Amino acid sequence: MTTIPENSLSDLFENLVTQFVKENIETIMKAEIKAFMEGDERSAHNNRNGYYTRTLHTKYGNIEDLQVPRDRLSEFQTHVFEPYSRRDGWLEEAVIQMYKSGMGTRDVARFIESMFGSHYSPTTVSNITATVLEDIQQWQQRPLKRRYSVIYLDGLYVKLKRSTVSGEAIYFAMGIDEDGHRQILGFYVGGQESANGWRDVLKDLYRRGVQEVLLGVFDGLPGLDDAFREVYPKA
């Protein structure tokens, strides 16, 4: 049985988290400027004026080329960070908590409202919630390539707060395509790691287009080998 290099998975996971934070910071700022442009505080002759790029330092890594929206009269200012600040205060943790919540609509809406309620109107909070959920769902359901040379499977345990705080498994699937490019195929949150859980993950990958796999790489979890061969018998 082949062992997955821990440093490889760790680096890929960190890169994914940084990209996830970046995309959702940009989503929130888009909702901010939309509310600003529709509100009474903007000047009558003001309009949106594209984006400017900047770097933002977070504890999950440096976010390069962050797309910050701007208006023609420079009246708009995001609440995400202070002007000219190069380090955020709390937003990256907020975004991660949205993902760790399990992506239930009510959980995400409640979290965003608690974090952003003092800055945004209820309509804007609702728009942010809907946009973030839509982006996540589109990513989770996106079509995948038909053939992958390698698929790595691994379970990561994190503490999630629902009715209580307890460790739950995140089912982590990474693929290497025929051109040698690595990509995250999916994350699946739920309960304790099991062969049945992995069977559901593999069936979802197959449903989204992954029909041929040359090599599967995973640990010795009882039943996982059988679950993999059930979905990909020729691997």
Strand partners, 66: 54
Model confidence pLDDT, tens digit, residues 200-209: 999 999 999 9
Whether the per-residue pLDDT at 162 is higher than 80: the answer is: no
User: Would you list the DSSP string of 118-178?
Assistant: TTS-HHHHHHHHHHHHHHHHHHHH----SEEEEEEEEEEEEEEESSSEEEEEEEEEEEE-T
Model confidence pLDDT, tens digit, residues 91-127: 545 555 555 555 455 555 566 566 555 555 666 666 6
Residue 8 in tokens: 């490889």
Alpha carbon distance 110, 1 (integer Å): 44
Stretch 169-174: mean pLDDT: 90
Instruction: Give the per-residue pLDDT at 218.
Output: 94
Q: What CATH fold (topology level) applies to the domain 147-231?
A: Nucleotidyltransferase; domain 5 (3.30.420)
Q: What is the mean pLDDT of the chain?
A: 78
Instruction: Give the per-residue pLDDT at 74.
Output: 86
The three-state secondary structure class of 68 is: strand
| pTM given for the model | 0.54
Task: Please give the single-letter amino acid code of residue 105.
Answer: T
Instruction: Give the per-residue pLDDT at 175.
Output: 95
CATH 3.30.420 location in the chain: 147-231
Residue 136 in tokens: 């996540």
Instruction: Give the per-residue pLDDT at 149.
Output: 96
* Number of alpha carbons in the 13 Å side-chain half-sphere of residue 88: 24
